[in-house]
Amino acid sequence: MLTVIETFYSIEGEGPFIGVPTFFIRLSGCNLRCSWTPVGSTRILMSDRSWKLAKDITVGDVVLGFEGEHFKKSRVLNTVKTRSETVKLTMESGGTITVTPEHPFYYRGSKTRRADRTIGKTIRTINQGKTDLEYKINGENDKVIKIETAGIADINHFETETHNYISEGYLSHNCDTKYSYSGGEKMTIESLVEEAASYGAKYVCLTGGEPLLQKEVYPLMYKLLDKGYKIILETSGSISLEDVPTDDNMIISMDIKTPSSNMVEHNVYQNIELLAEKDYLKFVIVDEKDYSFSKSIIEKYPFDGETIFQPEGGKNLKELTEKVLKERLNVRVLPQLHKLIWGDKRGV
């Protein structure tokens, strides 16, 4: 039996098979915690215009999020409690906010910047007198004038439907797959193979979380291969690939975690040696530090397959593309196609 968060039929949204109709199996469990969250004492703006402390946010709560430049009610889908290093930002307005170093604030339109790289820069705020749903955001910018370490604190990670929310008046982004950390439904290998067959799909994507955490995923792979499917395994690269089938129809999409994820130490670079030309590496890039890190990795660890540079959340696509072209890098720059089509929505 496998613990499954969700199954759905859609197009492959990432990598060299982008746009291909695919049956997705999202397995429960993740061994990484990309830490993008304010501390528990931070006030979060709710949809009824009240404030609630981040530590008290629970599944089913409805916060005030936004799509584009308009406010939108946004339900909390998942929460995970951890402890993490934090930084305190002091603003030109006199306000302060304490968050994890990687916490992304919006600074222009849909563009985000991690908290520990905002010194001397501005982040977006709301006009607190105009937060009804019929209003556009129309906030101002507040400059960060000081950043200091604030120690380890209790963190309540939470994911919202819009993958954003408002913390202490500042526009904030959150991870879009925290719901895969835990929970899910027990399903048999046979039932998953039958469901894949019901769609007539040629491709099956095994994703998470981290699908390799569940040992039953290996017999599932062999069963799907026996049935003639092409499998795309999406893995964080933090678990050895030595037990993954080497069949020509077994395609590995392996992440290399960049500095903005705060998970670089979990990269298992020896896995690159286990990849074949049919497989591909993926780097999710937020900023210049991520870009420089990614360049250094592909120089240090030569790889015959495809290397994908993907801007985080599909933002800054033009900027990243132009940089790759200017520096003559032999990589592919690709967006997340499903997000361009449907936005931040589950099950597509």
Give the percent of the chain with pLDDT over 90: 55
Q: What pLDDT score was predicted for residue 207?
A: 92
Residues whose CB is less than 8 angstroms from the CB of residue 181 and which lie 6 or more positions away in sequence, other chains included: 28, 29, 30, 78, 80, 209
Give the whole-angstrom CA distance, residue 126 versus residue 317: 26
Closest CA relative to residue 342, chosen from 210, 161, 133: 161
**Least confident window among 164-178, 184-198, 323-337:** 164-178
Averaged pLDDT for residues 210-214: 88
Averaged pLDDT for residues 160-165: 86
Averaged pLDDT for residues 55-69: 90
Assign domain 43-174 to its CATH architecture: Beta Complex (2.170)
Yes or no: say if 39 and 155 are a contact pair by the CB < 8 Å rule.
yes
Q: What pLDDT score was predicted for residue 213?
A: 85
Dihedral class, residue 15 (left if φ above 0, else alpha if ψ from -120 to 50, else beta): left
Give the percent of the chain with pLDDT over 70: 90
The correct CATH number of 2-32+181-342 out of 3.20.20.70, 3.30.420.40, 3.60.10.10, 3.40.50.720 is 3.20.20.70
Q: What is the pTM of this model?
A: 0.64
Question: Domain segments of the chain: what residues?
Answer: 2-32+181-342, 43-174
Average pLDDT score over the chain: 87
Of 131 and 268, which is predicted with more confidence? 268
Q: Per residue in 274-304, pLDDT tens?
A: 999 999 999 999 889 999 999 999 999 999 9
pLDDT of 140 > 90? The answer is no
The partner residues of 151 in beta bridges, in order of sequence, read 86
The model's confidence at residue 180, banded by pLDDT at 50, 70 and 90, is: very low
**Least confident window among 90-94, 211-215, 344-348:** 344-348
- Catalogue the E-assigned strands of the chain: 2-11, 21-27, 43-45, 51-53, 62-67, 70-91, 96-99, 104-108, 111-114, 122-124, 141-160, 164-167, 170-173, 185-187, 203-207, 230-235, 250-255, 280-285, 306-311, 332-333
pLDDT of 96 > 90? The answer is yes
